Amino acid sequence: MSPTQWDFPVELCCRPMAFVTLTGLDVVYNAVHRAVWDAFCANRRADRVPISFKVLPGDHEYPKCRPKRTSYEWYIPKGILKTGWMNKHLNLVPALVVVFYELDWDEPQWKEKQSECATRVEIVRLENAFYEHAQTYYYTEIRRVKSHKEFLNKTTHQLLFVRHQFKIAFFSELKQDTQNALKNYRTAYNLVHELRAHETNILEIKTMAGFINYKICRLCFQHNTPLDAIAQFRKHVDLCKKKIGSAELSFEHAAWMSKQFQAFGDLFDEAIKLGLTAIQTQNPGFYYQQAAYYAQERKQLAKALCHHEPSVTYPSPDPLETQTGVLDFYGQRSWRQGILSFDLSDPEKEKAGILAVQLKERSVVHSEIIITLLSNAVAQFKKYKCPRMKSHLMVQMGEEYYYAKDYTKALKLLDYVMCDYRSEGWWTLLTSILTTALKCSYLMAQLKDYITYSLELLGRASTLKDDQKSRIEKNLINVLMNESPDPEPDCDILAVKTAQKLWADRISLAGSNVFTIGVQDFVPFVQCKAKFHAPSFHVDVPVQFDIYLKADCPHPIRFSKLCVSFNNQEYNQFCVIEEASKASEVLENLTQGKMCLVPGKTRKFLFKFVAKTEDVGKKIEITSVDLVLGNEAGRCVVLSWQGGGGDAASAQEALQASRSFKRRPKLAAGEVHWDSVVGQASTMIISRVPNISVHLRHDPPALTNEMYCLLVTVESHEKTPIRDVKLTAGLKPGQDANLTQKTHVTLHGTELCDESYPALLTDIPVGDLHPGEQLEKMLYIRCGTVGSRMFLVYVSYLINTTIEEKEIICKCHKDETVTIETIFPFDVAVKFVSTKFEHLERVYADIPFLLMTDVLSASPWALTVISSELRLAPSMMPVDQLESQLDKVVLQTGESASECFCLRCPSTGNVEGGVATGHYIISWKRTSAMENIPAISTVITLPHVIVENIPLHVNADLPSFGRVRESLPVKYHLQNKTDLVQDVEVSVEPSDAFMFSGLKQVPIRLRILPGTEQEMLYNFYPLMAGYQQLPSLNINLLRFPNFTNQLLRRFIPTSIFVKRLAHPDLIRADVSSIF
Amino acid sequence: MAVCVAVIAKENYPLYIRSVPTESELKFHYMVHTSLDVVDEKISAMGKALVDQRELYLGLLYPTEDYKVSVFPNQLCRYGYVTNSKVKFVMVVDSSNTALRDNEIRSMFRKLHNSYTDVMCNPFYNPGDRIQSRAFDSMVTSMMVQVC
């Protein structure tokens, strides 16, 4: 865009830098000079001193210094600031003129090199020198301007106060003294507002105030005091906003205000780019927004003030022309420059001037300005997390495009933001946006958009009044009947004319007249809910569902077709309601028709179809409901709801309705409340209800590893024969995976099943069944582990049935589950005892001991032990035959059977954890089981036993009993179990019950060689009858002090039963001796 | 005094908006709607604070809009307030004649909150529905400038 009247001059907006001219350089033809020049001005980075250089020829004529006034006594200034002044000091009057003079010395080549080299080195130093000179120059300039002050008086020289203050500030800026510049600008700003303002000079005052304010804000941002900048700007706006000036040119004030805001926004944005942080509530966007608002106001004012008759012509001569083409002073009127009087000397001239300005304003493209500003603001608000502000501004942009007659862009913007307002439920705002969008689509004759917006404006989200809705509905019906709609109100007359032609063309165009509109993203005027009657249907009954429709428009509306689509498209054909109606009938027969929706009333349409047998177990979903308005002869609109109805607002409404406990008013029979309808867009097809019974007979619990018998009885209660009856039975899937490994099912009980048998038998054909017939099937289950399992018995069959006069083959099934506990049939206790039946913690190598097993039945049913077997580990030796003592023993619940085996364990090394004993195997079956059922072997692992070596084993040979006064020979065998020669001390303690001969009391010593044994024979002579303690044998091993008599007692009997004499006399005598 | 009073649901749709009849209703709707940007931001900023330490009054939402533009002819200030159930109150106050102190705004919001609580206590009111209560209306009226 070319700069307009309101744009700030470049020389105001740039950063003032010391102006230095270089002369005597021929940069075009002399490469050395060129290099010198480049060194000064090329790639000037921020760390170099701020100087603006210019090359001028040596004979350049600089602006002449006008003779300085010595007295201001008769001087009356004509304006505040001359338009050329800033440029003069930035670009024309140098602070320093540098004269380059080339000295020709002897050796040109060498010198050239030297100078070039020196130049490069010296540049920076030179530059600093220039800079110091320039600073001195500007310092003196400031002093000079200040010196004028004393000559000024407040009555005639008010303008000069401002001018001088501005100049001081500007020179300070050139001097790079920004602090003083800011101070002086602030003073200048205050002085501007002290000027006497009148309609004739208000523009000049505002212009200068704007300039100075711009400088102040700019310096504040530069000094990183943004709050000062904002405060200054607010103050500026406060002071100036009421200074409108001439009412006929009030659009100028709006334009000026707009520019103030825009410039501040630019400054703010620039500061942000240099590192300033802005926040949500204080960012440049607000200033652009305000600028846009003033631009809008300018537009309105211009519209009101510049509305001249076409006969009014631009005044001639042009009052806006000046001799030089530019103004002498900033902010003055071209037709009365330099006139300070508040009275208008030439009212005619003034009138012409105002007319010229007004007519000029007419050519301004306001919308373009407004849209640019709004779009700047949008970018800012997007950055500072203000999505709603952004949407709002985009709406305004769209509206501005609408005013600018760029309907395509308007529609694009409006359509983009609509969904934001819709999703947040701000219906008033949505309606307003839709109304504009409808106008745009009308003016462009965009059929689909026009229909879409109409649908929503007629809907329940629209806040339009009924008369408006009525008008829109009428238009919509016209469009459906292939006619043109009436124009929207308040549209531009010319645009309407164009639109009418477009609409007429649309009618003559044949072809694509079907518009499918997906309504789930907006709120159309017809609501839809689909509801299956049940969450599931048996395949032998028809699937039924209702489509509920409700219109929210003011007048009844007809539709031509209602159809429903499913995930299985084969059903679509059964769910169509169609009525051949002519387009002209849309408005006739309003209330009676089946295909008519009456506003506010909920209409219900029942649909029915027979599900395919393949769909058993599947979900049937409604994928869309299509309602067709109009017909193909005219125009057709297909409102398409995805799934079971519902639009952008219905979810929230349904939630509110579900929370509500308001009593709904009573309705006539057959009518329903819309809110009380809860959609159900899918249903399951499930198999026909079976009419058979399945019984299971069995004797729980199951015993580990047995072939557990399960008797399945299937009885048909169907009216017709059933066929293809199949049985699936076994472990119910979905349980612990380990159970599958340890459960096996078979139909044959006569052989034990192994790992290869499955856990579940599937689809065992069992034939057909006539009504009332029953069949039985025996199943055997083998459970390898204890615990409970769920078993499934699933019976399926086929049956022919008829629904809706259609023969179908239904597959029915019935299942039974049963939980069976598996227990271990026996509790087996095993213990080790000595040959004396004393409990043993450990056994001694090579010394016989007893293994006792105790089998306790845990089964509630009688068990027959067929046999038992002891399978010894290699480390164990039987002492005698290992015959089963339990063959054919029947155990009732809680009964136990014991066995005893004499074993010996040869000497082993010291085995950690003991020596394996072997296995005990019980072969058994239920006593009730049939003959052909195999026996089950239950293997019990016997515990390990610790084997200990002893140095000496003693065993005694003695009769099983003694008799009083009869000799009782006792022979002790002392076996040396070590590899050493043993020294043994043996003694027998005296006893009252026995007399005995042999070596006694005095220990005898003897030696036993390794592996040999020594016999000691004692003849005892019992003296008393009954259980008697044998005289105790004491053995002392000299090499093994740990070998105690305690241990010894384990091996040899300590007592013996002594019978009385056999002779009756003796018995009597003995008895008498007792008493 | 207040020129527009709005109650906004937790989901950010309006439960109640009333503005002085002299101005364009639409402008106030936009004003309230755009205020939600700042309200949302303030709520999410205080999200971490403990519930009982929470300040319900959100204060001035935007710097005073005091520019003489025809669309906003007065000095308008927007204030916000949020209840513990995240229902928001937004109030637009005309301060061109008399600047209101923060305390006065606070007490206005408290009045509004009390009246809103009464609405909620009505067993026939379904939370989330638009507020249609005569008592609430008259309370809002008392807070608004008597223009007519």
Which spans in B22-101 are helix H? 25-45
Q: Please tell me the distance from the alpha carbon of residue A377 to that of residue A415, in angstroms, as a whole number.
A: 19
Separation of CA A425 from chain center? 24
Q: Please tell me the distance from the alpha carbon of residue A189 to that of residue A166, in angstroms, as a whole number.
A: 9
Distances (CA, A) of A963 to A687, A968, A1017: 91, 8, 18
- Cβ atoms < 10 Å from Cβ of A767: 11
Q: Which chain A residues have a beta carbon less than 8 Å from that of B124?
A: 662
Q: Please tell me the distance from the alpha carbon of residue A549 to that of residue A559, in angstroms, as a whole number.
A: 11
Per-residue pLDDT tens for A836-864? 788 888 888 888 889 999 999 988 989 99
How does DSSP assign A463-505, residue by residue? ---HHHHHHHHHHHHHHHTT-PPPPPTT--HHHHHHHHHHHHH
Give the pLDDT of residue A453: 95
Cα Rg of chain A, angstroms = 59
Give the pLDDT of residue A583: 44
Distances (CA, A) of A78 to A82, A86, A159, A246, A264: 9, 17, 8, 21, 30
Q: Can you list the positions of beta strands (E) in A16-56?
A: 18-23, 51-56
Mutation target to probe the A interface, by most A beta carbons within 10 A, among B13, B26, B77 is B13
- Cβ atoms < 10 Å from Cβ of B53: 7
Average pLDDT for A76-97: 87
DSSP reduced 3-state for A915: strand
The distance between the two most distant Cα atoms of chain A, rounded to a whole number of Å, is 184
Which residue of chain B has the CA closest to A659? B126
Do residues A518 and A558 touch, judged by C-beta distance below 8 A? no
Separation in Å, CA of B37 to nearest CA in chain A:
5
Give the pLDDT of residue A685: 93
DSSP reduced 3-state for A669: coil
- Higher-scoring residue by pLDDT: B144, A388: A388
Judge whether residue A106 has pLDDT over 60.
Answer: no
Give the pLDDT of residue A274: 92
Mutation target to probe the A interface, by most A beta carbons within 10 A, among B28, B30, B60 is B30
DSSP reduced 3-state for A1037: strand
Partners of A709 in the β-ladder: A780
Instruction: Provide the residue type at A943 as one letter.
Output: P
Give the pLDDT of residue A1063: 62
Per-residue pLDDT tens for B47-67? 666 555 667 888 888 776 654
Per-residue pLDDT tens for A1005-1036? 888 888 888 888 888 888 888 888 888 888 88
pLDDT category, A468, cuts 50, 70, 90? very high
Reading the block at residue B133, the tokens are 């209560």
Distances (CA, A) of B65 to A244, A381, B4, B96: 19, 17, 15, 10
Average pLDDT for A785-806: 90
Cα Rg of chain B, angstroms = 15
Contacts 24+ apart (CB under 8 A), A307-311: A308/A355, A308/A358, A308/A359, A308/A362
Put simply, whether the predicted model's pTM sits higher than 0.80 gets the answer no
Per-residue pLDDT tens for A892-916? 988 988 988 888 888 776 667 788 8
Average pLDDT for A88-117: 71
Judge whether residue B70 has pLDDT over 80.
Answer: no
A746 in contact with B at a CB cutoff of 8 Å?
no
Distances (CA, A) of A944 to A852, A875, A914: 14, 11, 5
Q: Please tell me the distance from the alpha carbon of residue B118 to that of residue B130, in angstroms, as a whole number.
A: 14
Instruction: Provide the residue type at A891 as one letter.
Output: L
Cβ B29–A656 below 8 Å, yes or no? no
- Cβ atoms < 10 Å from Cβ of A675: 15
Q: Please tell me the distance from the alpha carbon of residue A847 to that of residue A860, in angstroms, as a whole number.
A: 41
Averaging pLDDT over each range in A287-291, A659-663, A833-837, which range is the top one?
A287-291
Mutation target to probe the A interface, by most A beta carbons within 10 A, among B12, B67, B124 is B67
Return the percentage of chain A with pLDDT > 70, whole number: 93
Least CB-CB distance to B63: which of A241, A282, A426?
Answer: A282
Average pLDDT for A151-176: 87
Residue A1070 burial (10 A CB sphere; 0-12, 13-18, 19+): middle
Give the pLDDT of residue A569: 92
- Higher-scoring residue by pLDDT: A545, A99: A545
Q: Give the total residue count for chain A.
A: 1075
DSSP code of residue A951: S
Q: Which chain B residues have a beta carbon less than 8 Å from that of A293?
A: 67, 69, 71-72
Do residues A476 and A485 touch, judged by C-beta distance below 8 A? yes
Average pLDDT for A487-506: 91
Which sign, positive or negative, has the C-alpha torsion A268, A272, A277, A281? positive
Cβ A426–B25 below 8 Å, yes or no? no
Mutation target to probe the B interface, by most B beta carbons within 10 A, among A260, A428, A431, A653 is A428
Give the pLDDT of residue A103: 63
Average pLDDT for A119-137: 75
Reading the block at residue A711, the tokens are 């008797």
Give the pLDDT of residue A231: 93
Cβ A241–B37 below 8 Å, yes or no? no
Which residue of chain A has the CA closest to B14? A426
Q: Which chain B residues have a beta carbon less than 8 Å from that of A662?
A: 124, 126
Q: Please tell me the distance from the alpha carbon of residue A293 to that of residue A281, in angstroms, as a whole number.
A: 18
Separation in Å, CA of B30 to nearest CA in chain A:
7
Contacts 24+ apart (CB under 8 A), A983-986: A983/A1007, A983/A1037, A983/A1038, A983/A1039, A984/A952, A984/A1008, A984/A1014, A984/A1035, A984/A1036, A984/A1037, A984/A1038, A985/A1034, A985/A1035, A985/A1036, A985/A1037, A985/A1038, A986/A1016, A986/A1033, A986/A1034, A986/A1035, A986/A1036
Give the pLDDT of residue A269: 95
Least CB-CB distance to A659: which of B30, B70, B128?
Answer: B128
Which of B95, B121, B90, B81 lies closest to B28 in space, CA to CA?
B90
Which of A860, A840, A948, A959 lies closest to A902 in space, CA to CA?
A840
For residues A635, A638, A639 and A640, what is the CA-based torsion angle, rounded to 10 degrees? Answer: -160
- The bridge status of strand A1055-1059 relative to strand A961-963 is parallel
For residues A888, A894, A899 and A904, what is the CA-based torsion angle, rounded to 10 degrees? Answer: 140
Per-residue pLDDT tens for B98-141? 667 888 899 999 999 999 999 999 988 988 889 999 999 999 99
Cβ A428–B66 below 8 Å, yes or no? no
Q: Return the number of CB contacts < 8 Å for A and B.
A: 83
- Cβ atoms < 10 Å from Cβ of A52: 20
Separation of CA A898 from chain center? 69
Supply φ then ψ for residue A681, to 5 degrees.
Answer: -95, 0
Per-residue pLDDT tens for A590-600? 444 678 888 98
Which of A381, A402, A405 lies closest to A393 in space, CA to CA?
A381
Which spans in A49-92 are helix H? 85-87
pLDDT category, A662, cuts 50, 70, 90? confident
Cβ B34–A426 below 8 Å, yes or no? no
Do residues A180 and A143 touch, judged by C-beta distance below 8 A? no
Give the pLDDT of residue A358: 92
Cβ B26–A661 below 8 Å, yes or no? no
Average pLDDT for A657-674: 79
pLDDT category, B71, cuts 50, 70, 90? very low
Least CB-CB distance to A294: which of B37, B61, B69?
Answer: B69
Residue A1003, C-beta contacts closer than 8 angstroms, at least 6 positions apart: A985, A986, A987, A1034, A1036
Helices first, then strands: H and E counts in chain B? 3, 5
Judge whether residue A1003 has pLDDT over 50.
Answer: yes
Q: Please tell me the distance from the alpha carbon of residue A598 to that of residue A596, in angstroms, as a whole number.
A: 6
Average pLDDT, chain A: 86
Average pLDDT for A499-513: 80
Do residues A559 and A585 touch, judged by C-beta distance below 8 A? no
Which sign, positive or negative, has the C-alpha torsion A699, A700, A704, A707? positive
How does DSSP assign A978-1034, residue by residue? SSSPEEEEEEE---SSEEEESS-SSPEEEEE-TT-EEEEEEEEEE-S-EEEEPPPEE
Instruction: Provide the residue type at A1018 as one letter.
Output: Y
Q: Please tell me the distance from the alpha carbon of residue A965 to that of residue A957, in angstroms, as a whole number.
A: 19
Domains and CATH numbers, chain B: 2-143 (3.30.450.70)
pLDDT category, A968, cuts 50, 70, 90? confident
Those residues of chain B whose CB sits closer than 8 Å to some CB in chain A are 11-14, 17, 25-26, 29-30, 33-34, 36-38, 41, 61-63, 66-72, 124, 126-129
Which of A861, A869, A871 lies closest to A886 in space, CA to CA?
A869
Domains and CATH numbers, chain A: 10-64+73-279 (no CATH), 405-511 (no CATH), 526-580+594-658+672-686 (2.60.40.10), 692-818 (2.60.40.10), 826-948 (2.60.40.10), 952-1059 (2.60.40.10)
Residue A525, C-beta contacts closer than 8 angstroms, at least 6 positions apart: A455, A456, A458, A459, A460, A462, A551, A552, A553
Q: Please tell me the distance from the alpha carbon of residue A682 to that of residue A290, in angstroms, as a whole number.
A: 54
Per-residue pLDDT tens for A238-297? 899 888 888 889 999 999 999 999 999 999 999 999 999 988 888 999 999 999 999 999
Average pLDDT for A584-610: 73
A288 in contact with B at a CB cutoff of 8 Å?
no
Judge whether residue A780 has pLDDT over 70.
Answer: yes
